[in-house]
């Protein structure tokens, strides 16, 4: 599956990053509760530092810029995803670069829970 235009989707959610495309220039969409929709929602969770959304001040993760690497950061990311995206089962893993400790690699693997409806 991929990104769709609104007329191709029964229960549309904007795909992220938000963009226009296709013949008529319509907004690109994901089917609600699809794997693509859930992955996009996880991307939003890890992109927003806590406190940046006025409507949901607890949404997101603690800012990672200038943080030192430790295992609790991985747990914070995993916990935020579990709190804000109930449709996903996640595995978060990470480490720092052997050549430069300022470079991190964080991998989020996400699966869809069985009770999300059609996928």
List the domains of the chain with CATH numbers: 1-31 (no CATH), 33-112 (3.10.450.40)
pLDDT > 70: percent of the chain: 80
SS (H, E, C) the chain: CCCEEHHHCCCEEECCCCCECCCCCCEEEEECCCHHHHHHHHHHHHHCECCCCCCCCCCCECCCCCCCCCHHHHHHHHHHHHHHCCCEEEEEEEEECCCCCCCEEEEEEEEECCCCCCC
> Do the Cβ atoms of 108 and 92 come closer than 8 Å?
yes
Mean pLDDT, residues 15-33 taken together: 80
Average pLDDT, the chain: 79
pLDDT of residue 118: 45
> What are the tens digits of pLDDT across the range 48-84?
899 999 999 999 998 877 777 777 888 888 899 999 9
Determine how many CB atoms are found less than 10 A away from the CB of residue 49: 14
């Amino acid at each position: 599956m991929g990104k769709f235009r609104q007329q191709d989707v029964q229960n549309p959610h904007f795909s992220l990053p938000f963009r226009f495309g296709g013949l008529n220039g319509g907004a690109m969409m994901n089917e609600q509760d699809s794997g693509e929709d859930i992955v996009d929602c996880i991307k939003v969770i890890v992109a927003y530092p806590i406190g940046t959304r006025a409507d949901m001040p607890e949404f997101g993760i603690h800012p990672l810029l200038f943080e030192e690497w430790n295992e609790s950061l991985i747990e914070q990311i995993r916990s935020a995803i579990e709190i804000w995206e109930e449709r996903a089962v996640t595995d978060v893993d990470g480490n720092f670069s052997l050549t430069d400790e300022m470079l991190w690699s964080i991998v989020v693997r996400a699966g869809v829970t069985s009770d999300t409806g059609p996928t």
